[in-house]
């Protein structure tokens, strides 16, 4: 047997949370030969809600994992359009027609439940490389021993694993067990997510809204402040999805997180929404699945990992949605774990020293995810901070190093970065 395979071993991985990030981690680790079990708290795993962005920095990992993205019914975006709040007149546009040729993957929009189903199939199907992951539902975490790699659930089940990944939104039990004390505050915005069907859009005579574009109303200083709308097609163009932001004080919802109950249309059309482009008001009045999403601004956690346990996605770096990078950052987290615990890096012994491997994961991912987290909070009040529109911002101060750019997000070669870091570990061990 070649010497480089001696230090590698297949891991028994427990993934707490069956959302986008948890399923992506199962896909990435399965492809590297590890046995993954996903523990989901809901009795029926799945996602509902609005659209989800997948830029090239996330899409490249779906491609690398041979995920059947066509099954997710993506809509390829051709532009970002900024509109005036009251009139709907175009204020600025960012052209995406050359996006794939420049960055290697299309910029796509998915309906959240379609991406979830797509990743679930990639994780659990008997087809594809590596052992299929197992999905168990009705598992709510109540305690975790990170050093021992064991966990207990509310249904009385106890498990042990080589590695435990917490990916279930913002899980208090996981954070508490790892010794993480969140530093967060209510955001000045609350979001309402809702959908309109293609048939309804066309029946209303508003077919222009089905353009393959993300369209924005508001979201730049003073026009009209914290009231913003992000509209995009998804589900193969069959659904028009809305993220509707308003000042928190105008909202009737205040508990952090996503609320399952339906919101009344009057909850949404409050405050400055009374002056909104009347075409959009018409669409919102025809909307369904209106769900409140109460937002909190989180400061970066001091660490993500303890012992054999780590965090991923929103569990590790909860962020505001204003850079449309939440799913992509979770995909990058998952990809990093797959690369670090791969056979390629067997010589470094990371599957036999899980703590060392998770430390490398945090070194690779935390600075980049934190920068996106910070930029997402800044874009809350100024759309010009958003990736893409940043190139259209007037009078930009020279030399700003905190501002995200499309190039920075899409040119980063994480595989090469990890290769270099593993080489440095091996060199240090040999010295």
Which domains are delineated in the chain?
A: 3-47+112-181+301-393+401-430 (3.50.50.60)
The SS3 assignment for 347 reads: helix
The reported pLDDT for the residue numbered 44 is 56
pLDDT tens for the chain, 431 residues long, are 344 445 899 999 999 999 999 999 999 999 999 999 999 988 655 556 789 999 999 999 999 999 999 999 999 999 999 999 999 999 989 999 999 999 999 999 999 999 999 999 999 999 989 999 999 999 999 999 999 999 999 999 999 999 999 997 766 777 888 889 889 999 999 999 999 999 999 999 998 888 999 999 998 776 667 899 999 999 999 999 999 999 988 877 555 455 556 888 988 898 889 999 999 999 999 999 998 888 999 999 999 999 999 999 999 999 999 999 999 999 999 999 999 999 999 999 999 999 999 999 999 999 999 999 999 999 888 888 888 887 766 555 555 667 888 999 999 999 999 999 999 999 998 98
Cα dihedral across residues 108, 113, 117, 119: positive or negative: positive
| Close Cβ partners of 182 (under 8 Å, ≥ 6 residues apart) | 170, 175, 298, 299, 301
The reported pLDDT for the residue numbered 220 is 77
The reported pLDDT for the residue numbered 219 is 82
For the CA atoms of 63, 258, 303, 333, the dihedral, rounded to the nearest 10 degrees, stands at 0
Predicted TM-score (pTM) above 0.85: yes
Q: Which of 335, 308, 336, 338 is nearest to 32 (CA)?
A: 338
Strands (E), 221-272: 223-234, 239-247, 257-258
Query: Which residues face 229 on adjacent strands?
Result: 217, 244
Which whole-number Å values give the CA distances from 53 to 112, 231, 237, 310, 411, in the listed order? 9, 11, 14, 25, 18
The reported pLDDT for the residue numbered 417 is 98
Helix axes 354-378, 414-430, angle to 10 degrees: 140
Cα dihedral across residues 171, 42, 110, 282: positive or negative: negative
What is the distance of C-alpha 353 from the center of its chain? 28
Compute φ and ψ for 353, nearest 5 degrees.
Answer: -125, 80
The reported pLDDT for the residue numbered 101 is 96
Report helix, strand and coil shares of the chain as percent, to nearest 5. 40, 25, 35
Nearest-angstrom CA–CA distance, 218 and 421: 43
The reported pLDDT for the residue numbered 395 is 53
Query: Which residues face 74 on adjacent strands?
Result: none
């Amino acid at each position: 047997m070649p010497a480089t395979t001696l230090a590698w071993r297949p891991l028994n991985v427990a993934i707490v949370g069956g959302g986008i990030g948890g399923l992506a981690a199962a896909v990435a680790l399965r492809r590297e030969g590890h046995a993954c079990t996903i523990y989901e708290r809901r009795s029926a795993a799945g996602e509902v809600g609005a659209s989800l962005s997948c830029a090239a920095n996330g899409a490249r990992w779906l491609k690398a994992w041979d995920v059947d993205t066509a099954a997710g019914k993506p809509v390829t975006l051709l532009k970002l359009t900024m509109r005036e709040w009251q009139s709907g007149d175009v204020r600025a546009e960012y052209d995406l027609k050359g996006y794939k040729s420049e960055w290697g993957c299309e910029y796509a929009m998915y309906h959240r439940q379609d991406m979830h189903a797509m990743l679930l199939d990639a994780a659990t199907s008997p087809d594809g490389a590596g052992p299929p992951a197992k999905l168990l539902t009705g598992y709510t975490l109540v305690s975790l021993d990170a050093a021992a790699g064991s966990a207990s659930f509310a249904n009385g089940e106890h498990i042990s694993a080589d590695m435990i990944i917490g990916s279930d939104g913002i899980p208090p039990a996981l954070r508490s067990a790892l010794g993480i004390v969140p530093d967060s505050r209510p955001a000045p915005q609350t979001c309402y997510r809702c959908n309109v069907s293609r048939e309804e859009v066309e029946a209303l005579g508003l077919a222009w809204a089905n353009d393959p574009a993300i369209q924005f109303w508001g979201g730049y200083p003073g026009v009209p402040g914290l009231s913003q709308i992000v509209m995009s097609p998804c589900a193969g163009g069959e659904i028009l999805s809305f993220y509707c932001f308003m000042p928190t004080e105008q909202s009737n919802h205040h508990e952090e997180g996503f609320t399952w109950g339906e919101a009344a249309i009057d909850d949404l059309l409050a405050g400055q929404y009374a002056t909104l482009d009347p075409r959009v008001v018409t669409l919102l009045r025809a909307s369904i699945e209106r769900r409140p999403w109460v937002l909190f601004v989180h400061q970066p956690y001091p660490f993500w990992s303890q012992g054999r346990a780590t965090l991923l996605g929103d569990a590790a770096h909860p962020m505001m949605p204003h850079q449309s990078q939440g799913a992509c950052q979770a995909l990058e987290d998952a990809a990093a774990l797959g690369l670090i615990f791969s056979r390629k890096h067997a010589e470094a012994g990371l599957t036999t020293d899980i703590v060392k491997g998770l430390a490398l994961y945090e070194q690779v991912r935390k600075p980049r995810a934190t920068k996106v987290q910070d930029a997402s909070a800044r874009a809350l009040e100024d759309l010009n901070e958003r990736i893409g529109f940043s190139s259209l911002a007037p009078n930009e101060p020279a030399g700003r190093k905190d501002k995200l750019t499309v190039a920075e997000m899409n040119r980063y070669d994480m595989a090469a970065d990890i290769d270099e870091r593993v080489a440095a570990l091996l060199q240090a061990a040999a010295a």
